[in-house]
Amino acid sequence: MSRSLSPSLSQCVIKLHEEHHALEDYQGGVPRWCNGCGDNAILAAMQRLCSEENLAPENTVFVSGIGCSSRLPHYMKTYGFHGIHGRAFPVAEGIKMARPDLNVFVSTGDGDCCSIGAAHWIHALRYNMNITVILHDNHVYGLTKKQASPTSPKGLKSNTTPYGAMLEPMNPLTVSLGVQGASFIAQGVDWVPEVLYDIVRAAFKHRGFSFVRILQRCPEFMPKAFDPWLHDPQRTMLLTHKDGLQLSKSLSSAYRNQREHDPIDIDRAREIASMDEPIPVGILYRNPAAPCYEDLRHAGQMRSPATIRTGLDREFDKYTVWPDDESQAQHAA
């Protein structure tokens, strides 16, 4: 004879069912990126993170600007904001200030972040709001069909540099580590998905502005850019530490070039970030004690519509030009 569940137990079972989210719950539309694009690996890592951390889709927001990387919110079945070029950071900060309880992510590219959005990027590092940022860095403008970006290698021939890029590329890691207030800086590569996921997960777990640069392949316009590192694992240096990455046995056997690095050591982090060869992969810097801006400003405090209207009127009245003293007196009354 079957026995029905008690009301309290039934509610518990229903609640557990409602709170569990499978991987499919975060999969939006079919990605339109090229076959072999590193953005696909980044998307897979983000969807896995949301599933394994069981982030409620209705409490999760992905913000982006413009570019191939910025299509990512379209493929996440969460809230999303596809903004204008270079303006993902202020949008994400506004969301976090209004709703500090939300899980806020930013998906940006080397052009979107490091060129037109550079000023917002620098100040977002200073503010250290609790936002997870993924920088897709393929060294080229892909969406607009091959123009040099700030991270393009010197000598790259593109539509905007037909005789080759003349400047040395910007290093987003060293730039970020030079900003006062930065609290989490890491680097991943799309062709080592296990480590990529571990880095993204550590970034999400960190309370503060987590900046993860991911070197990712562009099969259309930079098809061979990362081939030397793909074919020779020794050219990738994995950073390990008890407070950083801890590698599996299988990964350790394949990637034997490892270095123990304490991510609290910012001076050593800056040295490692400056390395071109081998590519450092892992958590370069983490400072969990850095204050978050939304905490300093007491973000999210409830304000009634009447309070907001009064505040706005007070500010607008400072600049109002009244036609005569009588009208001004009537308004004051």
- pLDDT tens per residue, range 217-232: 999 999 999 999 999 9
Indicate whether 33 pLDDT > 90.
yes
Which residues does 118 contact at the CB level (< 8 Å), separation at least 6?
Answer: 86, 150
> pLDDT value at position 3?
52
Q: Which residue has the tokens 């800086």?
A: 185
Parallel, antiparallel or unpaired: strands 140-141 and 147-148: antiparallel
pLDDT at 12: 52
Q: Residue 1: its pLDDT value, please?
A: 44
Report, as an integer, the average pLDDT of 185-207. Answer: 97
The residues with which 218 forms a beta bridge, in sequence order, are 222
So where are the chain's domains?
Answer: 22-301, 302-333
- Look at the block and give the residue holding tokens 């709001």: 129
| Residue predicted with more confidence, 29 or 160 | 160
Q: What is the mean pLDDT of residues 297-317?
A: 83
CA–CA separation, 35 vs 27, rounded Å? 18
pLDDT band at 300 (very low <50, low <70, confident <90, very high): confident
**Whole-model pTM?**
0.86
Q: Residue 97: CA atoms inside 13 Å, Cβ hemisphere, count? A: 13
Cα(119)–Cα(124) distance, rounded to whole angstroms? 9
Residue 321's pLDDT band (boundaries 50, 70, 90)? confident
User: What span, in angstroms and rounded, lies between the C-alpha atoms of 213 and 281?
Assistant: 10
CATH architecture of 22-301: 3-Layer(aba) Sandwich (3.40)
The mean of the pLDDT values for the chain is 91
Closest CA to 189 of 30, 73, 41: 41
Q: Are 261 and 241 in contact (CB under 8 A)?
A: yes
Residue 211 has pLDDT above 60, yes or no: yes
